[in-house]
Structure 1
Amino acid sequence: MLRVLIIGATSAIAEATARRYAQRGARIFLIGRNASRLHAIRDDLRVRGAADVSCDTLEVNDLAAHAGALDQAWQWLNGVDVVLIAHGTLPDQTACETSVQTAMAEFATNGTSTIALMTAIAPRMEAQRSGVLAVISSVAGDRGRQSNYLYGAAKAAVSTFASGLRQRLAKGGVNVLTIKPGFVDTPMTRDFPKGALWAKPEAIARGIVRAADRGRSVVYLPGFWLPIMLIIRHIPEFIFKRIKL
């Protein structure tokens, strides 16, 4: 039976991913900040076919609380086959530019807390010598852009950390999967005008599960973001400075 741990489980992408694993009859442990929302998702997943579902609350920026939450998940699941780290916010770039406190708080939520969780999870999976550690980064981390460079910097840190961790854990049978979504239509982006480049959480979830099954290292979702970001990364700096992204 597949054993799945999802951190940031109340996000739209995480919930959609959990539903796909529930349909497989997985045993699922959910970690998030909102207890009532976690309980609602837990009950829904049971109806959708999950073998069993449990949950626990965690404030991801409380780094001292990570170990306890992970211990509880590992004990309840009796080992973990797939971990998905999916929490995050979408910072107001202007607010980050005018407040050091806001900038550092947003970097902590989107970068530092994820790195701390990956650091704590790694030895547990290393001891198992198996499993997939999947983390949601973003295409925003591929190159800093004036519209969201605080968020991009945090995601770049996550992607780079995941790259090094992947190399470290590969010899022990553990795969680290970096997930780089583009624009996703979620409650977090409800105020943004939508267009052809936007995807639904269900499409991202399908890609996450497929990439985890296939042992992928890095996946852009939807896939058309790979050539888009390849172009953006290779725009010369003297040109890049003159365009608005």
Structure 2
Amino acid sequence: MHRVLIIGATSAIAEATARLFAEDGDRLFLVARRKARLKAAADDLAVRGAEIAGCEVLDVNELDRHRAVLEQAEQALGGIDLALVAHGTLPDQQLCQASARLTVQEIQTNAVSTVALLTRLSELMERKGSGRIAVVTSVAADRGRQSNYVYGAAKAAVDTFLEGLRQRLYKAGVGVTTIRPGFVDTPMTAGFDKGLLWSQPDTVARRIHHAILKGADVVYVPSFWRWIMLAIRLMPRRVFKALKL
């Protein structure tokens, strides 16, 4: 039995992953900003087999509330073994290009709030001397592209933070898993045309669940994205900058 904290718990990927932990009979504590949906998700997990399914409302940009909510989760679960951080927004790149305020707001939500949460979580885990922190970033972090570089820059900042955190916490017996999904068919991507590279949340959740329990460091979801992004990263800059990506 694991004691699992999920932040951003009402996202499609997080909900699907939470169901797998519930079916394992784990204890869960959900954190998200939409109260009604959060309560419904917790109730559903209790029906699916979760030993405990608690929840608390939090807007992740309320940085001064992070510590209190994490302490509440720790108390409700009797400790935290696994923490999945899965919140985020998908900004409109064109709108961001026209607004410095909006760009900073998106960086705040997708990077700064995550880094703040990870700083608090790492304190708890390091003190305990065990556990695993998993964070959903994106393949967009691997290389900035004109179509979504605000989002990609935020996720890249988190990726770099996680790399350093992984090295630091290794000595304390705490693992860090970076999860890099590709295109996922969720409400957040409802306006996109879907093709062969798109995955469903349940498929992504199964790989995330497996990666966390296995103790993977970095996982691409689905796995073929590792090779796609390798090709993109290795592409010469003079070629890459001329592409319409």
Which category of TM-score, normalised to the shorter sequence, fits these structures?
over 0.9
Moved >6 Å (runs of 4+)? none
Say how many residue pairs are matched: 245
Q: Which residue of 2 aligns with 1:115?
A: 115
Q: Secondary structure, in 3 states, of the residue corresponding to 1:146?
A: coil
- Alignment of 1:182 with 2:189, yes or no, is no
Distance (Å, rounded) in 2 between the aligned partners of 1:207 and 1:127 = 29
Q: Structure 2 matches for 1:12-91, cutoff 5 A?
A: 12-91=12-91
Q: How high is the TM-score relative to the length of structure 2?
A: 0.99
Deviation at 1:215, TM superposition (A): 1.0
- Identity level (%): 58
User: What is the identity, as a one-letter code, of the residue corresponding to 2:172?
Assistant: G
> Unaligned stretches of 5+ in structure 1?
none
1:121-142 deviation digits (Å, cap 9, x = unpaired): 0010001111110000000000
Deviation at 1:78, TM superposition (A): 1.3
User: What is the identity, as a one-letter code, of the residue corresponding to 2:59?
Assistant: E
Q: Which residue of 2 aligns with 1:195?
A: 195
Q: Which residue of 2 aligns with 1:148?
A: 148
Q: Secondary structure, in 3 states, of the residue corresponding to 1:50?
A: coil
Q: Structure 2 matches for 1:162-241, cutoff 5 A?
A: 162-241=162-241
Distance (Å, rounded) in 2 between the aligned partners of 1:42 and 1:214 = 25
User: What is the identity, as a one-letter code, of the residue corresponding to 2:127?
Assistant: A
User: What is the identity, as a one-letter code, of the residue corresponding to 1:171?
Assistant: K
Q: Which residue of 1 aligns with 2:106?
A: 106
Distance (Å, rounded) in 2 between the aligned partners of 1:99 and 1:53 = 40
Distance (Å, rounded) in 2 between the aligned partners of 1:34 and 1:123 = 27
User: What is the identity, as a one-letter code, of the residue corresponding to 2:128?
Assistant: Q
Distance (Å, rounded) in 1 between the aligned partners of 2:131 and 2:52 = 19
Deviation at 1:66, TM superposition (A): 0.5
Q: Secondary structure, in 3 states, of the residue corresponding to 2:83?
A: strand
> Unaligned stretches of 5+ in structure 2?
none
Deviation at 1:70, TM superposition (A): 0.5
Q: Secondary structure, in 3 states, of the residue corresponding to 2:60?
A: coil
Q: Secondary structure, in 3 states, of the residue corresponding to 2:178?
A: strand
